[in-house]
Amino acid sequence: MGKILIVDDAKFLRMTIAKAIEKTGHEVIGEAQTGKEAVELYPTLKPDLVFMDITMPDMDGIEAVRKIKKDYPDANVIMCSAMGQHKMVLEAIEAGAKDFIVKPFEEARIIEAIEKHISF
């Protein structure tokens, strides 16, 4: 069972992702509202996978991915973005994100991303 951290400033979106994760048998081990919180939580939680929004207060997801990957190069981060943020998605992938999911989320896509990036 994989341990997953969800990072999004919108509680509703964190809940949507969490519901899909529960269906896969994996565990949500933490939630953060900002990239800064994600960077602070990562070393303590050591998640197998992170779902990270791009646009957030304090520190955006792209900067958070860079900081996490600097200290934890094997980190698995999946970026979440709204339609029309193609340039930001590319920047996130260049920063080290493994995949991206477009908002609004489709549950099947969340599950697919989990299965693709968590292997045991």
pLDDT in tens, 23-57: 889 999 999 999 999 999 999 999 999 999 998 98
Place of tokens 């529960």: 22
Peptide bond into 104 cis (omega under 30): yes
DSSP state for residue 43 in the 8-state scheme: H
**Is 19 within a domain?**
yes
Nearest 5°: CA angle at 78, between 24 and 98?
115
Report the CATH number that the domain containing residue 74 is assigned in CATH: 3.40.50.2300
Euclidean distance between CA atoms 93 and 100, whole angstroms: 8
Least confident of 31-40, 57-66, 78-87: 78-87
- Asked if the model's pLDDT at residue 71 lies above 60, the reply is yes
**pLDDT greater than 60 at residue 102:** yes
Note whether residue 4 is domain-resident: no
Task: Domain count for the chain, please give it.
Answer: 1
Domain with 84 in it: 10-114
Question: What is the structure's pLDDT at 119?
Answer: 66
Share of the chain above pLDDT 90, in %: 64
Q: Could you tell me if residue 84 is inside a domain?
A: yes
pLDDT of 120 > 80? The answer is no
In this prediction the pTM is 0.92
- Residue bearing the bigger pLDDT, 87 or 11: 11
